Structure 1
């Protein structure tokens, strides 16, 4: 019965950053949901009811001020893999469980990485603009792209997403290099034809395409800056589907303007969206998408299902399948 369901706080249903209306039943099947705007109208009334906080597209933000209004909170269930937007030690210190949704976002994110690589290499967006321009009367022969088949791809971060990218790249007969905190097994390397680079610098020098697929941590913040970009081939293309803070955007602008590298394709920036006067928006050799790596219906459905499963376990006092704890916990 409806009154027996636990209460959950969400951002909103619909809107730019809310849950898709057609998928909201996944939440309402198990929880009585209240949207953030309604909650703020009377937090003293609603706060004590809330046992689960669902974070979708980083909202609502799990800030101390909000968490302090939720005395019955048992779990923060975040959609996606990254946890850089939440204070893990603080949430754990409250006795509240934190969970993410690994294993369901990798395919769609890897698909987008390959889409960005192909679109940038073959200048698909520019081609589309020419093809649909009402002033076009003849097709240019000068719109030359970069060969993908047989080229060298360097993957920075060979976690689940990075490995999925390698699997897809094998189909294009690409030579795959990777640099990662953890080396893959020989069998895993052989399955995709990947070679490990001890040095990030070595990978950057040798790659025709460089894809960033790391998690955002203190160690990876600013990982690619002036020095790293200067090591890349002037014909190289950089793809980022991780987090905007991994890349020094000022350094990237200079590298693209000076011809240090050929082009960049970014699904993530910092901030999001970029200010409308940001120089990256005006460069012809930049392809930008609005952080849509996980934006497919099937992926969104799987994320929500996993969020609900994690939250229900926490509310019932059962082990949380995808619990995230602070280091050394």
Structure 2
């Protein structure tokens, strides 16, 4: 029997909800590209409820314990004295989330001789040292597409929040003011702007499709060029490199995976290529950006605004400069963990575990590393290597 260690974010401060704002979820059977939603043999949770926190347990306990497996769930993930570090030594499976990542560094992998599967409840497996997983023959999987549209919606919200100067305007209303002039001195229309995405995969293409009705000029760069018919349909301008695109855009949104080739792709030098007063939205990974370079660009006016929900490390230290930098629209990492998305990634996690324990193949689109090599979505999206360096900084920040 296996030991499964599941690292999830903390419960709400007032405890698990006893009721929810809505009674049900819309019915979705397929993703936009035709891929089916997760198809586990069964689920032990109510769709639309909070599953991604410690008490939610991704709805896995009844299933795993009925099969004789052991489930350990914790939010204590950082540092050598964390519960995760203690439980990892004899774990067969580790489940983590991008929103509250259990960083599986090479050092931690070396301490886990039984580890066979590192599973991301969501999308994005950069919190795993992929090269170390390849070298050890560990399977790495994620629930591809489960929350891609959730993130694309968050990108759209973030763009509008920045361009229309929503956060300060809302604050004037909360504070009892009617300061229209103060509100509109940084407010513009999105219509007519040039908007570009770095990467046009499931999330990036979802953003482009949602931007089209706003009357924007659309740009993209990706190492996999889109089909000509899609470029024509959306009137897209393709750029061979991000650097070629940056200077053309009023808004840039980052929707690419984090791996050694993309780490710190936004830095002092690349920011010089941006239009003065451009907006930058990042819901991909915080480590795509040089943290302090973003702050400097906002303070100088090179960037008019920065929004997103990804930080490095996660959770972000209380003194992280992105919390207080000017003209920001930051949130905790929530874009891909809406209650709608949780239903899908919890079901997908159950599907992968069923396949793993029953010796059936895991869906190719869920695989990142398998058989000692990049596989499935991993071969398309990632480069072998390690992007976990520096994650030990998370140990300095304890919630509560």
TM-score (structure 1 length as normaliser): 0.85
Q: Are 1:238 and 1:264, in contact at CA under 8 Å, matched by a contact in 2?
A: yes
Residues 231-270 of structure 1 aligned to structure 2 (within 5 Å):
231-270=273-312
1:108-133 alpha-carbon deviations (Å, 9 max, x no partner): 00000111100111111111110010
2:183 aligned with 1:143: yes
Judged with a 3 Å threshold, the aligned counterparts in structure 2 of structure 1 residues 269 and 224 are, in CA distance, closer, same or farther, namely same
In the other structure, the counterpart of 2:94 is: 53
In the other structure, the counterpart of 2:37 is: none
1:67 and 1:251 map into 2 onto residues whose CA distance is 32
Judged with a 3 Å threshold, the aligned counterparts in structure 2 of structure 1 residues 225 and 70 are, in CA distance, closer, same or farther, namely closer
Q: Report which stretch shifted further, 86-95 or 203-212.
A: 86-95
Q: Are 1:267 and 1:292, in contact at CA under 8 Å, matched by a contact in 2?
A: yes
Q: Are 1:51 and 1:72, in contact at CA under 8 Å, matched by a contact in 2?
A: yes
- 3-state SS of paired residue (1:206): coil
Q: Report which stretch shifted further, 181-190 or 261-270.
A: 261-270
1:273 and 1:6 map into 2 onto residues whose CA distance is 29
2:10 and 2:291 map into 1 onto residues whose CA distance is 32
Judged with a 3 Å threshold, the aligned counterparts in structure 2 of structure 1 residues 78 and 197 are, in CA distance, closer, same or farther, namely same
2:368 pairs with one of 308, 324, 327: 324
Using the TM superposition, give the Cα deviation of residue 254 of structure 1 relative to its aligned residue in structure 2, in angstroms: 1.6
Using the TM superposition, give the Cα deviation of residue 199 of structure 1 relative to its aligned residue in structure 2, in angstroms: 3.8
- 3-state SS of paired residue (1:263): strand
2:72 aligned with 1:34: yes
Using the TM superposition, give the Cα deviation of residue 221 of structure 1 relative to its aligned residue in structure 2, in angstroms: 0.9
Q: Are 1:23 and 1:301, in contact at CA under 8 Å, matched by a contact in 2?
A: no
Q: Are 2:100 and 2:314, in contact at CA under 8 Å, matched by a contact in 1?
A: no
Residues 1-329 of structure 1 aligned to structure 2 (within 5 Å):
7-11=3-7, 14-15=10-11, 19-20=52-53, 23-24=56-57, 26-32=59-65, 33-36=71-74, 51-56=92-97, 57-63=99-105, 73-134=115-176, 136=177, 138-144=178-184, 145-321=187-363, 322-325=366-369, 327=373
Using the TM superposition, give the Cα deviation of residue 181 of structure 1 relative to its aligned residue in structure 2, in angstroms: 1.2
Relative contact order, CA 8 A, sep 6+: which one is greater? 2
Q: Are 1:10 and 1:60, in contact at CA under 8 Å, matched by a contact in 2?
A: no
- 3-state SS of paired residue (2:263): coil
Judged with a 3 Å threshold, the aligned counterparts in structure 2 of structure 1 residues 270 and 202 are, in CA distance, closer, same or farther, namely same
1:132-190 alpha-carbon deviations (Å, 9 max, x no partner): 104x2x33234221211221101111111110000110121211011111111111212
1:165 and 1:251 map into 2 onto residues whose CA distance is 25
- 3-state SS of paired residue (1:299): helix
1:6 and 1:328 map into 2 onto residues whose CA distance is 25
Judged with a 3 Å threshold, the aligned counterparts in structure 2 of structure 1 residues 69 and 249 are, in CA distance, closer, same or farther, namely closer
Structure 2: unaligned runs, 5 residues or longer: 14-50, 66-70, 77-81, 376-400
2:155 and 2:258 map into 1 onto residues whose CA distance is 17
Using the TM superposition, give the Cα deviation of residue 63 of structure 1 relative to its aligned residue in structure 2, in angstroms: 4.9
Judged with a 3 Å threshold, the aligned counterparts in structure 2 of structure 1 residues 284 and 40 are, in CA distance, closer, same or farther, namely closer
Judged with a 3 Å threshold, the aligned counterparts in structure 2 of structure 1 residues 73 and 260 are, in CA distance, closer, same or farther, namely closer
Q: Are 2:279 and 2:305, in contact at CA under 8 Å, matched by a contact in 1?
A: yes
TM-score (structure 2 length as normaliser): 0.71
Q: Are 1:6 and 1:31, in contact at CA under 8 Å, matched by a contact in 2?
A: no
Using the TM superposition, give the Cα deviation of residue 265 of structure 1 relative to its aligned residue in structure 2, in angstroms: 1.2
Paired residues, number: 320
Q: Are 1:74 and 1:314, in contact at CA under 8 Å, matched by a contact in 2?
A: no
Judged with a 3 Å threshold, the aligned counterparts in structure 2 of structure 1 residues 236 and 302 are, in CA distance, closer, same or farther, namely same
In the other structure, the counterpart of 2:79 is: none
